[in-house]
Amino acid sequence: MKADPWRQLRLLDLQAIDTRVAQITHARRTLPVLAELADLEGKARLIDDQVVRARTALDDVQREVRKAEADVQLVRDRAARDRARLDSGIGTAKDLVALQHELESLARRQSELEDVELEVMERAEDLESDLANLTAGRDRLSERIAGLEADRDVSLAAFAKDEAEVTRPRADIVAGVGPELVALYDKIAASSVTGAAALRQKRCGGCQLELNPVEIQRIRSAPEDEVLRCEECRRILVRTPESGL
């Protein structure tokens, strides 16, 4: 394959751009804020699950509170009716004694039910306070996540700007290098990340191996427009004034 030395040198510019783009891509993928965000989002999901469980538990206990209140109310109403009948003095002495007994037993029952009511109300208060703590913690976490997302977006915008600047000359360079040489470069780059390397001080700039004297001799006598390949890594080897030939 033939390509004039100028085209071959332009290939090194293309390689420099592509290397820079690969670095930007890597830096963007490994931004520390992304790992931090993933960690906080995991924590947020755990808290969300806890909030759901706490709400369900609170709903259940609030139902128990309403039931306990209704139970106490029933006994109170019944006692109020008994007391009214007793106060009216209507009925036989036996009836009035029976009413008196029932009132005593209702008072005991009311006291027991009020204890139950108090206990479930305390449980409801505890759960309300747990839920309030969880919600407050989740709100703080949401704020931190929003802050990190803003940081991330600033970084991503900066990377996008860098990448746009770095790649701006690429199309012109590709046109200058020509489709045939670019196709070869792309094919090598697809398998070994970089497709072209400068020959510097008798070393391949890609694999860093020194070329043997026989190879150097062959390169010395090769026509300027011949496209050379590194024997070791198969990259396109571009001769430069620093090649040491």
* Residue nearer to Zn ion on the CB measure, 184 or 230: 230
* Residue nearer to Zn ion on the CB measure, 68 or 199: 199
CA distance 35 to 33: 6
φ/ψ of residue 238, rounded to 5: -100, 125
Q: Minimum Å distance from CB 206 to Zn ion? A: 4
- The residue type of 235 is R
Single out the residue of 1, 14, 27, 21 nearest to residue 195, CA to CA: 14
Q: Minimum Å distance from CB 220 to Zn ion? A: 18
* Residue nearer to Zn ion on the CB measure, 40 or 233: 233
The residues, ordered by sequence, that sit 6+ positions from 24 with a Cβ below 8 Å of its Cβ are 159, 162, 163, 166
* Residue nearer to Zn ion on the CB measure, 134 or 205: 205
CA distance 45 to 38: 11
Q: Minimum Å distance from CB 211 to Zn ion? A: 8
Q: Which residues bind Zn ion (CB under 5 A)?
A: 204, 206-207, 230, 232-233
Number of neighbours of residue 200 by Cβ within 10 angstroms: 16
Q: Minimum Å distance from CB 186 to Zn ion? A: 17
For 115-161, the three-class secondary structure string (H helix, E strand, C coil) is HHHHHHHHHHHHHHHHHHHHHHHHHHHHHHHHHHHHHHHHHHHHHHH
* Residue nearer to Zn ion on the CB measure, 65 or 237: 237
Q: Which residues pair with 198 in a beta bridge?
A: 238
Q: Minimum Å distance from CB 199 to Zn ion? A: 9
Which run of H or of E encompasses 238? strand 236-239
* Residue nearer to Zn ion on the CB measure, 59 or 186: 186
- Rg (Cα) of the chain, in Å, rounded? 42
Q: Minimum Å distance from CB 207 to Zn ion? A: 3
